[in-house]
Structure formats: C-alpha cells, structure tokens
Structure 1
Amino acid sequence: MSVSTEIPEGDLDLDSAVIVALGCNDKGVWASCEESLEAALARFRAEGIDILARSSWWSSKAWPDPTDPPFLNGVVVVRTEHEPGALMTRLSRMEDVFDRRRSVRNAPRTLDLDLIAYGRLSGDLEGLILPHPRAAERLFVMGPLAEIAPEWTHPVAGESAAALAATCVVGVDARPVPAKAGV
C-alpha cells in the first residue's frame, strides 16, 4: 500500500530526526518488492524502531546499471533508543533476514536499508558516516523525504529536503508509485 504520511509541522523536531531509506529491486521470496518492503516496515517495531512518518513508494531505474531490475524505494522517519552504530547493526541484521546477498557493489537486492541521518550528527562515527554521504544527490531518497518532511535540513549541506530533491543528479527518473485503486 503506497501511503504518504507527512509530518505535521510542530509534531517532530526535525533537528533530531532519524531517517532510514528502504529499497528493493529483487523480490526474493515475496510476491513483489512492495510486499518485501512492507514486511520490512512491519518488522521495525520488533527491532526497537518506531515509525513516525513514511513516504509513498517511489520507482526508479536501477543505478548505476539501468539494465538491472527497477527499484522501489521509500523513506521513513523513526524514533529509537538505539545509538547510531547499534541502529545500523539492527538494519543490517534485517537485510540478512530478508536474504540480502552482498556479491558485487550495487547488485540487485532483496532489501536495502540505509541510515540517512541521525539528528544533526555528522562525520565518521567508527566507520558509519553520517549523514549518508550520497543521499543528498539521490532523488530516490530526497524525493520521498521531501514528501514527508520537506523542511528537514541536511546537517552538512544546509539545504532542505525539498531543495535537495530539486537538484538531485542521481536517479532523476524516480517517481512516486500511484496508489492502487480502492486502497
């Protein structure tokens, strides 16, 4: 189900927002990538991650190899007690549960979970670079983020999600997936 839940102004301190991007272009055992991503979202709570807002699903050609299956992506703003490194460990474990194979860089994947931002933290935190070093240039990240938190400001670039979405250079074909009729 493609549901966008924009964060009402004043309901969340965007300076403390924890942002996770999701992606899939190999449905694996699921009927579709959408089903896989929905199952991943359903598992967040069991991992100690509460979803505060979520974007609709966005479709784009695979990058950097557009001959790979197309991607389905989305973004969630979450609340968690996990520190950044522990949160990344949980996200990686979820990818493993969803049978993510790490063969070659940018290979098709059953589940891709990226920690985009953890509040205003920036820099190399023991191998975890925050904010995600390439998120600001990717429309399949900034587009969904701008959909739910357009005023979120990138901790390093100083630009809003909406402004960054307008200037992305990677995944420029990314578009929201139309909601299904009757859903």
Structure 2
Amino acid sequence: MASVFLLLGSNLGNREQFLTDAIGRIESEIAPVLQASSVYQTQSWGNEGQPDYLNQVVLIKVELPPADLLAKLLHIENDLGRERREKWGSRVIDLDILFYGDKIIDQPGLHIPHPRLHLRRFTLEPLAEIAPDFIHPTQKKSVLQLKNDLNDVLIVKKL
C-alpha cells in the first residue's frame, strides 16, 4: 500500500461543502482518509484576482496504480461540477496527487510528485501540518525544509 497525499482546493460556491463532499467521495470510492490538515484560506496562485481558495491536504493509503487513482479523482471532480475552462481558473473542486509514496512519475497527464508543490505555500502549509518530515523524492528535502525555503509570498491562513 502506498501513502498518498492529496491536495483539495475550492474557490467557488460553498467551498467548505465542496471540500467535505470531496472527502466523503474519496472515502467511499477510494480509501479512508487517515489524516487531514486544517483548512487554509489562500490567495489564488498563478491567476491572481480570483476568489480566495480553501485548501486542505489529506493522507490516504491505496493499492490502486497511480493512473487509476487519478482517473477516480477526475471522476469525483467531474461529479462535483468541476469545469475546465482555463489554466489555473476558478473551480468548485480541485483534487491533486502531491505524493504517491516515493514514486517519481512523468507521463502525459500524470506527474508525481506534483511538479510545482515545492513552490507553493498553499500546498506546503497544510502538507507540513500533517507530514513535516516527509522527504520529497526529487528535491531531497523534507516538506518542512521546502516550506521554510519558500519565496512564495501569497497569504495562506489557517482557519
């Protein structure tokens, strides 16, 4: 079984409910959530000027291959009303695989570890809350070290 860290995000509609609904669907369709970070309110990254996000990181353990896990997460996003209109656009729900154990995967449509997680405060703050000592398999630093080395100045606040 692989330990998998997922990032959940929402910046449209009832953001809290979308996070709750996503966790419920993950637990019923994929695996129990073993740990969950606090919810963080974060400024939008990459396409500033959008509504603030709520973000949360959860830990699950799965036997599913990474591509199958991604397919299930995309299905949950679609069922919850996710529309893909523009890169880094607003969304009711976003489910990203941050880490799948210590696997390194670089395939079309599937990149693990998430290729920009080490640059984003909105990812590293909640991740560091539940996995500060986890070593990034390509950066070779702990999550806490990556968070402490960040240059990202966007506001991320624990709710």
TM-score (norm 1): 0.82
Please list, as runs of the form range in 1=range in 2, the aligned pairs for 1:18-167 lying within 5 A after superposition.
18-27=4-13, 32-125=14-107, 127-167=109-149
The answer for unaligned runs of 5 or more in structure 2 is none
What is the CA distance between 1:170 and its match in structure 2? 3.5
* Structure 1: gaps of 5 or more residues: 1-12, 178-183
Q: Give, in whole Å, the separation in 2 of the partners of 1:20 and 1:169.
A: 22
Identity %: 32
Q: Which amino acid aligns with 1:131?
A: P
Change (3 A) 1:70 1:117: same
Root mean square deviation, CA, Å: 1.6
Q: Secondary structure at the match of 1:38?
A: helix
Give the length in aligned residue pairs: 159
Q: Which string of whole-angstrom CA distances, capped at 9 and with x for unpartnered residues, describes residues 106-146 of structure 1?
A: 11000000001101111314541111100111111111010
Report the TM-score when normalising by structure 2: 0.93
- Return the offset for 1:154: 0.5
Matches within 5 A, 1:11-22: 16-22=2-8
Q: Retained in 2: the 8 A contact 1:54–1:148?
A: yes
Structure 1 residues 172 and 67 mapped into 2: Cα distance closer, same or farther (>3 Å)? closer
C-alpha separation in 2, matches of 1:171 and 1:112: 22
